[in-house]
């Protein structure tokens, strides 16, 4: 889901796509990315983080207090269901300027210092934060770099892309996107890795 929304957003923002391709061409010299290359791909990471802000794959999560607790002036009785709507939180203008805009620059180096600690929660937070966080970010960046290095994905016309929240944020029936080679075979920088 993280990558579906990433490609959907990239296809609709040619400026972001061009910058992503430029970074991949510059850093990978035509080869397939390996984990060691990720440090050279900061923009690729910014794109994934910004896509997960607008379309958090885990749209929310829940907690149940084991005793009565006061949160922000509200008394929450023991046993209540408390839900955190990550999707709404990530689009709150108090924390993200022009929240509806897809702008990977928000996640340029130092974003953690510019953003309130619990404003960005694609992997949850606190003691039960996702234990797959680092692994998921690594594979998302590697897959995006591996594919986007050679392919462009465009949005097939005539689709109403409306997000649906069913534990994860998805579009019913998926999103159809044909692939286009970025290079003619003769000009491919390297053979398939
Ligand atoms: C983009 C990918 C992923 C997203 C968006 C994601 C999101 C989340 C979120 C929001 C939570 C917290 C749920 C809560 O607080 O109630 C969570 C927990 C968890 N995630 Fe992930 N996750 C991802 C990938 C992974 C991967 C790859 C693994 C394992 C390799 C994983 C394993 C777990 C586990 C075990 C927990 C429960 C941790 C606990 O309760 O102590 N996740 N994930």
Residue by residue, pLDDT tens for the chain (193 residues) are 999 999 999 999 999 999 999 999 999 988 899 999 999 999 999 999 999 999 999 989 999 999 999 999 999 999 999 999 999 999 999 999 999 999 999 999 999 999 999 999 999 999 999 999 999 999 999 999 999 999 999 999 988 888 877 767 777 778 899 999 987 654 445 444 3
Distance from residue 136's CA to the centre of ligand 1 (Å): 9
For the CA atoms of 74, 80, 86, 90, what is the dihedral angle to 10 degrees? -10
**pTM beyond cutoff 0.85:** yes
- Identify whether 95 is part of a domain: yes
Ligand 1 site residues, Cβ closer than 6 angstroms: 2, 57-58, 61, 122-124, 128, 130-132, 135-136
Question: For position 191, what pLDDT does the model report?
Answer: 45
Dihedral class, residue 129 (left if φ above 0, else alpha if ψ from -120 to 50, else beta):
beta
Closest CA to 86 of 170, 9, 168, 3: 168
Where in the sequence is the domain holding 166, given as residue range(s)?
Answer: 2-59+91-190
Question: Does residue 96 lie within any of the structural domains?
Answer: yes
For residue 98, report the distance from its CA to the centre of ligand 1, in Å: 28
Q: What is the pLDDT of residue 184?
A: 65
Residue 105 lies in a domain: yes
pLDDT of residue 192: 44
Helices (H) and strands (E) in the chain, counts: 6, 8
Tell whether 86 is covered by a domain. Answer: no
Residue 71 lies in a domain: no
Instruction: Indicate whether 132 belongs to any domain.
Output: yes
pLDDT of residue 193: 39
Check which CATH number belongs to the domain holding 45 and give it. 1.10.630.10
- Assigned domain for 79 exists: no
Q: What's the number of domains the chain is made of?
A: 1
Q: Whose CA is nearest to atom 32 of ligand 1?
A: 132
């Amino acid at each position: 889901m993280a990558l579906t929304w990433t490609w959907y957003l990239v296809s609709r923002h040619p400026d972001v796509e061009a910058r992503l391709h430029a970074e991949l061409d510059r850093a990978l010299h035509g080869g397939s990315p390996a984990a060691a290359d990720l440090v050279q791909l900061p923009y690729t990471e910014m794109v994934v983080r910004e896509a997960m802000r607008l379309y958090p794959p885990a749209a929310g999560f829940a907690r149940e207090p084991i005793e009565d607790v006061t949160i922000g002036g509200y008394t929450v009785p023991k046993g209540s269901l408390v839900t955190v709507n990550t999707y709404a939180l990530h689009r709150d203008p108090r924390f993200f300027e022009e929240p509806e805009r897809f702008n990977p620059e928000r996640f340029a180096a130092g974003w953690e210092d510019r953003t309130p600690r619990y404003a960005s929660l694609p992997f949850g937070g606190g003691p039960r934060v996702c234990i797959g966080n680092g692994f998921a970010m690594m594979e998302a960046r590697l897959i995006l770099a591996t594919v986007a290095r050679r392919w462009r994905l465009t949005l097939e016309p005539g689709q109403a892309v409306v997000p649906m929240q069913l534990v994860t944020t998805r579009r019913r029936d998926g999103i159809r996107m044909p692939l286009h080679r970025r290079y003619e075979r003769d000009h491919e920088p390297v053979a398939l890795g």
